[in-house]
Amino acid sequence: MKYIVDNDLHIHSYLSSCSDDPEQTPEAILSHAKKYGLKTICLTDHFWDSAVPGASEWYAPQDFSHIKKSKPLPQSEGIRFLFGCEADLDKFRTLGIDKSRFYEFDFIIISTTHFHMTGFTLHDEERASAKNRAKAWVERLDTIFDMDLPFHKIGLAHLACKLIAPERAELLEVLSLIPETEMKRIFTKAAKLGVGIELNSSDMSFSDDEKDIILKPFKIAKECGCKFYFGSDAHHPERLSESIEKFQRAVEELNLTEEDKFII
């Protein structure tokens, strides 16, 4: 059976500093889910745990006391509205969430591709070339997989996103430089651990000329037995609705079935 588009597990509210949109409320997000028949949605505001040293100036205000202001989340019959977060990995490979905090969340997205955060997520030498960025892409995922984490409720965010490189051509170069053998090794690990692989609406925004390069990691992940969820990564209401078409595109391009679905 074809994969039913019934989930969006990466959504930001006005509490995320990069949103700050008064219209991006939990109530508006729930209304969107009703309109488009989504059965599971998750609020994943940016988060760096105050119990973990090293927060950037941007991350520091986005601690648990801040993001929990959205609770209790509004609910509606037939829809699971989950409370989650988007955590990050800094250049020292420190994950910005303490183990004691895991139980607070229904779902935890980990971003390993926020390469645009100059001086925070990558060392200068890692940013210096497409080859080094490709190496960092692999190493940062390996770091996560070697941690003691509740992988049954963890997703890996936007693995082919534009934040990997400042220019589109360089993004494509970075992805092309990741050896297929390394992708297979990485995604075999991911499948074994049971971590979810995100199909981000931004990742699914590609031209026909770019398709093979952008989809390659996801095709390999599917071959390795990984499970997938959707993420609009919406910071504003219009992005929520725009993402539905991108989700459908991913289903068609990757030939996804219900067997490929990540379920929390």
In 101-179, which residue ranges form alpha helices assigned H by DSSP? 124-127, 130-145, 168-177
Enter the DSSP assignment of 205.
-
Its domain, for residue 57, covers 7-260
Token code pair at residue 220: 């390999």
Q: Is the pTM of this model over 0.85?
A: yes
Task: Residue 85: name the closest of 111, 60, 56 by CA.
Answer: 111
pLDDT of residue 20: 86
Residue 13 forms part of a structural domain: yes
Q: Peptide bond before 72: cis, by omega within 30 degrees of 0?
A: yes
**Sheet of 154-156, strand order:** 7-11, 40-46, 80-88, 107-111, 154-156, 196-200, 227-231
Residue 123: φ, ψ to 5°? -70, 160
Residue 126 forms part of a structural domain: yes
Compute CA 153 distance to the chain's CA centroid, rounded to the nearest angstrom: 12
Residue 221 forms part of a structural domain: yes
Walk along the chain (264 residues) and give the pLDDT tens digit of each residue. 999 999 999 999 999 999 989 999 999 999 999 999 999 999 999 999 999 999 999 999 999 999 999 999 999 999 999 999 999 999 999 999 999 999 999 999 999 999 999 999 999 999 999 999 999 999 999 999 999 999 999 999 999 999 999 999 999 999 999 999 999 999 999 999 999 999 999 999 999 999 999 999 999 999 999 999 999 999 999 999 999 999 999 999 999 999 999 999
Residue 192 forms part of a structural domain: yes
Residue 2 forms part of a structural domain: no
Residue 240: φ, ψ to 5°? -60, -55
Beta carbons of 255 and 264 less than 8 angstroms apart: no
* Domains identified in the chain, total number: 1
Q: How far apart are CA 222 and CA 205, in angstroms?
A: 19
Residue 91 forms part of a structural domain: yes
Token code pair at residue 43: 């609020």
> One-letter amino acid identity for 224?
C
User: 70: domain CATH number?
Assistant: 3.20.20.140
